[in-house]
Structure 1
């Protein structure tokens, strides 16, 4: 089984072509201003988050675990989670995102992927996670349900199909995604 990263799920949902340009026809990607800024924001948020309470997450108390490396042989998936909270015998993945557009689908399924990895790591179900939007300083609770888990597994299968088949997928139907894409210059059929 081809081992994949959680970020592959996020990228696949954003645009399947990113998988093609990452694995099949690797190209030097352009680091966007947004990507560089997001990395800086993550470092500052890590520092601040250690001092904050858990009320924003709807919890009285808990333990934070930062940058836990997780992998699942069953899923053929690995990744490093920004943070997870352990409280009352439950596990809550938290992904920090620098976006002003609200939680997006690719971020949601990245979080679901991490929840599935946490389930395998702790051998306990994960019911909720949080997308923490840095500009708003606000966590958005995301339910981790059966349909979301099924969708992630289907994405993993489709990603592996792209890699094995070595065929470029169709472009994203939402052309707004192309505007900030680091691979935009390599797609000959989008403006």
Structure 2
């Protein structure tokens, strides 16, 4: 008679790890305030504005792709081809996300292109930079090509396209950020909030935040 084989706690933890995938959107929430990860994944509280944002971005994205001239992408960015709305996952990085566009460039590298329903403020915010880095991790693993830059199209500034340089430090920080998010979810601990306290008083989470 066969007996049930006990699984060690280490193996259970490994199995649990393999089932968890962090989305690129999770990482952006984490950058805004780490406690949002606790609210969403440990308490099951969704953001109220998330659905509205996705609807707005979806409409704007469709229009923007028509307005960002194909010749501009091909000539200015030296793009040989592109793939649109590419959903990628990585077990190794415990990461998943949908890239607006994956651009394949003349130098043999690739780059993510993300469309923002926003104005260009003459600065690249860290959320935009690390979003590009996280997409870069997914693209490199899936396609087996280097990604040393990303692009952001700011749709409310006449579709201004800005290049973001990506290096080893950016990728290491992106990987570390995913590990930190996994730790919050696995251990279900309440992390320190952002130094900008107003962020943790976001209407979507204010009532629950006041209870913790």
TM-score by length of 2: 0.78
Structure number with bigger Rg: 2
Number of residue pairs matched? 189
> In structure 1, what is the Cα distance between the partners aligned to 2:201 and 2:74?
33
Assess, with a 3 A threshold, how the Cα gap between structure 1 residues 16 and 181 changes in structure 2: closer, same or farther: farther
TM-score by length of 1: 0.86
Unaligned runs of 5+ in 1: none
Report the CA distance between 1:94 and its aligned residue: 0.8
Q: Could you say which residue in structure 1 is the equivalent of 2:196?
A: 174
Determine which structure has greater relative contact order: mean sequence separation of CA pairs < 8 Å that are 6+ residues apart, divided by chain length.
Answer: 1
- Aligned-residue Cα RMSD (Å) equals 2.6
Alignment of 1:42-191 (within 5 A): 42-49=61-68, 51-54=69-72, 58-88=76-106, 89-100=108-119, 101=121, 102-136=123-157, 137-175=159-197, 177-178=199-200, 182-188=204-210
Unaligned runs of 5+ in 2: 1-16
> In structure 1, what is the Cα distance between the partners aligned to 2:210 and 2:151?
37
Report the CA distance between 1:32 and its aligned residue: 6.4
Q: Could you say which residue in structure 2 is the equivalent of 1:30?
A: 48
Greater than 6 Å deviation, 4+ residue runs: none
Assess, with a 3 A threshold, how the Cα gap between structure 1 residues 32 and 117 changes in structure 2: closer, same or farther: closer
